[in-house]
Structure 1
């Protein structure tokens, strides 16, 4: 084989790939949920050196089946209950295919106007669907941008916060004073990574106490830490409030935290990576309390629970100026009349990398295929399954349930009264691993107050009540044998 793939060859092999993906979804339950391979097993089956001559694409597909598939953990499996969902759906996959086919590099408006302007539309659509404030719209002072992940969103927010707190000096001179960033023990680790990357440093990430009953951040302790840091000559720069923590989906009191931030002029970033999309349902918009009045930046991930395959994380700004001022550099080779006019958005100034894919195509495809009704049906359906699962746990005296659980994650713990906490944790972990190794289902765990909890996260569009019921039966058998 040699030369480029012709349009006719692409048509033939493309149909094979689409058929392969369709067959994969149709038969996904035949696969073990978590990969059963040992470390190094996949690599050992692959050639040590690249081919000298091109190979038929059919061979690529054969090796996909024979070599790679045993090493795949099936995130779209209906019995995947680990971490958080990472949904992939037909319209999203096709939108991603269109993006790859167009091969757009949308770093500035001029490199593909449609890439930029479609993104402005879909992030405004999504803001409307989630009931977010008008000033988050791209035709207002703020605006939205699709990042690859909430980690990148946190990094951009931290850069903007640092720029504002320093009056722009950090961008010119570097960090010359001690800046501080505030999280709770349940805040995602990406915030500490952001602090390291922007130069704040891990030692200046202050951990705020949580309310033992709700696991939400304690605003009084936050205020005390900020006052202490100010007295020591530090510059309190950013607070991260979380709506739906990774560990348990706890919710920080955004309004009360926002009041503390406003009183001290501190940037408030709201990380709603998992749970934010739940606000597509009007009855769940209570999770937005305080966002409109106090959030300087806000992030949620359609690629978790809103049927859009990875990567698609939306970051909104209440005022985009600090972000653009912090990130904008215009070398001569990027100058063009549209940018110079100031009439367009250049998304290169809204993210860390210069280059960017046409990510909005897949979100646009999802929003158009499902509509608001379809999105709400998915969110409500998965929450309903989770609440049903929680009721089964609550009714079984051999288990204890962590309350509350307002979304589609349930945390619980088997009771082993005859064992110490440490012994019980070791047993729980060992049994969980045996379940995962069986390939029947996939669970993960967390720790709260030093005690291990199992996590069951429901979110796949493939998951039905029969899968949840079977998982609960298997868990009961494993932990009460």
Structure 2
């Protein structure tokens, strides 16, 4: 295959993509596939000689779409969305075509500088203080790991980078039970250890109790441990819990803790000023993560980390051997020093395209619709016999259940086997509950109201 062939097949692919999206409502959201089914249809070894592209494309059409969960389906209400607006798809095609490795300014001048500007655009759109700068990672997991590594080194005076952790004080991290599993993973991978992630008690709204946080820190200090950092959440994955940011950050400041706020999903909603009370006091954080790929239509992967001061993170993660020097340009930004991987994709391009193609007002309208339609769906579900709303909507996320776990789980299986909508589960206060999260880029009110329609039809 050469570039002339690519031109032909790119047009063919664009036509296929258009037809795919046009027909998504006619497909079940989740495939009726069994483990190993797709693998069994593939040859055991790679071909020794080139195969014609028409055969490859035909196999793609035959094997792949029917065995995929359709994340762009307008009735995908599971997890959080991984949206891909058409403008983002176009930008991703261009970025793929250039295939740049954006690790340094000199390897990607436009890529680096557009990223810097996009961070500024998003900072202002979210109402954050102008002191924040930042970078674009692949996912919130990497942003959180970067923040926790910074917490570790700051607490150790950056001794861990050279000396390792052996013989160092026992470090402690603090988060609530609502925090995402990426916090646990970061505690493990950073060498701090999951046993040193202290789960702080929450109140009736699932928010971290500032008094309990202060008590936990004081108890660790008395035990000879060294508190290193606080991780808070705004719109936690389970049921959308939001910590009381201003009050908990005040406790962290009193104990000189580095702070990271996981607003990966809900942060996008802060382009709407009326939702900003959910993270009141956010300007006091050291690090914040917001994923435009979850609710703003920017194709996965695109995770923004805002930093009040990038110096501690760059000191932790930066490494500049001779072969990564940009000669004669000492003041340029090399974003590989702000994150874990050396290699970086040109993620800023799709953010630039989306913000321009839809505008902040267009994106605000979508988010406001999703929040309003989720509330309407909540009310319709609450009117069904035997359905109990367990957690009220936080933005566009809420949960419901039947009278016992077994019946709730059986209902969820029937819902997803039906195929018209896709929902997932979590546990809340020891109870199995069904999550509803509205946020797919092209969904309509009718799509959202299919949720109570399907649930009502499948109640036993």
Q: Bin the TM-score by the shorter chain.
A: over 0.9
SS in 1 for 2:337: helix
User: C-alpha separation between the residues in 1 aligned to 2:128 and 2:142?
Assistant: 21
Q: Do structure 1's residue 465 and structure 2's residue 445 form an aligned pair?
A: yes
How big is each residue's C-alpha offset from its partner over 1:79-123, in whole Å with a ceiling of 9 and x where there is no partner?
211111111110001111111011110111111110100000011
- The one of 66, 79, 83 aligned to 2:75: 79
1:128 aligns with 2:130: no
1:426 pairs, out of 377, 396, 406, with: 406
Superposition map of 1:43-62 within 5 A: 43-62=39-58
Per mean C-alpha deviation after superposition, the further-off stretch among 384-393 and 18-27 is: 384-393
Q: Give distance in 1, aligned partners of 2:336 and 2:20.
A: 36
Aligned mate of 1:401, from 389, 398, 402: 389
Q: Structure 2 residue aligned with 1:228, among 219, 224, 227? A: 219
Contact 1:109-1:338 at 8 Å conserved across structures: no
Q: Which stretch shifts more, 269-278 or 461-470? A: 461-470
- Aligned residue in 2 for 1:29: 25
Relative to the length of structure 1, the TM-score reads 0.93
Q: Offset of 1:49 from its aligned partner?
A: 0.5
Say if 2:384 is the partner of 1:390.
Answer: no
Asked if 1:18 is matched to 2:18, the reply is: no
Of the three residues 241, 249, 260, the one matched with 1:269 is: 260
Structure 2 residue matching 1:251: 3-state secondary structure: coil
CA deviation digits over 1:295-317, x for unaligned, max 9? 01000100111111100000011
Q: 1:261 and 1:227 mapped to 2: Cα distance?
A: 11
Contact kept? 1:276, 1:287, Cα under 8 Å: no
Does the residue aligned with 1:115 lie in a helix, a strand or coil?
A: helix
Decide whether the 8 Å contact of 1:261 with 1:267 is kept in 2.
yes
Equivalent residue, structure 2, for 1:420: none
TM-score by length of 2: 0.97
Segments of 5+ residues of structure 2 without an aligned counterpart are none
Alpha-carbon shift at residue 58 of structure 1 (Å): 1.7
1:203 aligns with 2:199: no
CA contact (8 A) 1:110 1:338 kept: no
Partner of 2:38: 42
Deviations 1:201-244 (A, max 9, x none): 01101011110x20111111111110011111111111111000
- Please state if 1:67 is matched with 2:58: no
Q: Is the 8 A contact 1:185 1:207 kept in 2?
A: yes
SS in 2 for 1:262: helix
Contact 2:177 2:199 in 1 (8 A): yes
Q: Distance in 2 between matches of 1:28 and 1:411?
A: 25
Mapped to 2, the partners of 1:99 and 1:12 lie a distance apart of 19
Is 1:309 equivalent to 2:299 in the alignment?
Answer: yes
The 5 A counterparts of 1:13-412 are 13-136=9-132, 143-175=133-165, 176-211=168-203, 213-292=204-283, 294-339=284-329, 341=330, 343-396=331-384, 398-412=386-400
SS of 2:64's partner is helix
Q: What secondary structure is seen at the aligned counterpart in 2 of 1:393?
A: helix
1:2-31, Cα deviation, whole Å (9 max, x unpaired): xxx333211111100111111100111121
SS of the residue corresponding to residue 144 of structure 1 reads: strand
User: Hey, what's the Cα distance between the residues in 1 that align with 2:110 and 2:384?
Assistant: 55
SS of corresponding position for 1:135: coil
Cα RMSD after superposing both structures = 1.2
Q: Distance in 2 between matches of 1:267 and 1:373?
A: 34
How many positions carry a matched residue from both structures? Answer: 458
